[in-house]
Amino acid sequence: MKKRETSRVTIRTVAADAGVSVATASKVLRDAYGVSQSAKDRVRESMRKLSYRPHAAARGMRGQTYTLGVLLPDLHNPFFDEIMNGVHSFLAATPYQALLGFGQSQIDQEFALVHNMIDRQMDGLVMVAPRLTGQQIEDIAGQVPTVLIGLHEPRAINYDTVNNDDFESGRLAVHHLHEGGRRRIVFFSLVLPPSIEESTIVVHRERGYRAALNELKLGRYSRVVLAGQDRGSIRDQALKLLRSKTRPEAIFCWTDFVAFEVMSVARELGLSVPDDVAIMGHDNTAFCDLNIASLTSIDQSGPLLGEHSARLLIERIEGRTKAEFLTVVPKIVARGSTKVSAPETVS
Amino acid sequence: MKKRETSRVTIRTVAADAGVSVATASKVLRDAYGVSQSAKDRVRESMRKLSYRPHAAARGMRGQTYTLGVLLPDLHNPFFDEIMNGVHSFLAATPYQALLGFGQSQIDQEFALVHNMIDRQMDGLVMVAPRLTGQQIEDIAGQVPTVLIGLHEPRAINYDTVNNDDFESGRLAVHHLHEGGRRRIVFFSLVLPPSIEESTIVVHRERGYRAALNELKLGRYSRVVLAGQDRGSIRDQALKLLRSKTRPEAIFCWTDFVAFEVMSVARELGLSVPDDVAIMGHDNTAFCDLNIASLTSIDQSGPLLGEHSARLLIERIEGRTKAEFLTVVPKIVARGSTKVSAPETVS
DNA sequence: CTGATTGTGGAGACCGTTCTCTATACAAAT
DNA sequence: ATTTGTATAGAGAACGGTCTCCACAATCAG
pLDDT reading at B4 higher than 80: no
In this predicted structure, the answer to whether residue B32 has a pLDDT above a threshold of 50 is yes
What is d(CA B202, CA B191) in angstroms, rounded to the nearest whole number? 9
**B153 CA to chain A: closest CA distance, Å?**
22
Residue A21 CA, nucleotide D22 C1', distance (Å) = 15
CA distance A229 to A11: 49
Q: What is the pLDDT of residue A220?
A: 95
Note whether A253 contacts B: Cβ–Cβ < 8 A: no
**Distance of residue A4 Cα from the nearest chain B Cα, in angstroms:** 7
Contact check, Cβ <8 Å, B290/A264: yes
Mutation target vs B (from A68, A258, A287, A320; most B CBs, 10 A cutoff): A287
Instruction: Judge: B75–A60 Cβ closer than 8 Å, yes or no.
Output: no
Q: How far apart are CA A225 and CA A65, in angstroms?
A: 45
Of B1, B56, B120, which is closest to A317 when you measure between CB atoms?
A: B1
Q: Is the CB of B58 under 7 A from strand C?
A: yes
pLDDT at A302 > cutoff 60: yes
Q: Is the pLDDT of residue B2 over 50?
A: no
Bridge-based pairing of strands A331-333 and A297-299 is antiparallel
Structure confidence by residue, pLDDT tens digits, B85-135: 999 999 988 888 899 999 888 888 898 889 888 888 888 999 999 999 888
User: What is the distance of C-alpha A245 from the center of its chain?
Assistant: 37
What mean pLDDT value characterizes chain A? 91
In terms of Cβ atoms closer than 10 Å to its own Cβ (0-12, 13-18, 19+), residue A211 is middle
pTM: 0.86
Asked, as a colleague might, if the bond just before A274 is cis with ω within 30 of 0, I would say yes
Average pLDDT of span A222-250? 96
Question: Among partner residues B55, B75, B143, which is closest to A119 by beta-carbon distance?
Answer: B55
**Tell me: the pLDDT tens digits for A23-36?**
999 999 988 888 99
Within A 3-42, residues with CB less than 7 Å from strand C: 19-24, 33-39
> Do the Cβ atoms of A149 and A138 come closer than 8 Å?
no
> Helix A22-30 crosses helix A11-18 at what angle (to 10 degrees)?
110
8 Å CB contact of B260 and A292:
yes
Write down which residues 16-35 in B have CB closer than 7 A to strand C.
22-23, 26, 29-30, 32
Contact B242, A291 (CB under 8 A): no
Asked if A94 contacts A115 with a C-beta cutoff of 8 angstroms, the reply is no
Terminal CA-to-CA distance of chain B, rounded, Å? 82
Chain D footprint positions (protein CB, under 7 Å): 7-12, 14-21
Taking an 8 Å cut-off on Cβ atoms, the answer to whether B263 and A292 are in contact is yes
| N-to-C CA span, chain A | 83
How far is the CA of A258 from the CAs of A188, A279, A302, B113, in angstroms? 8, 10, 18, 33
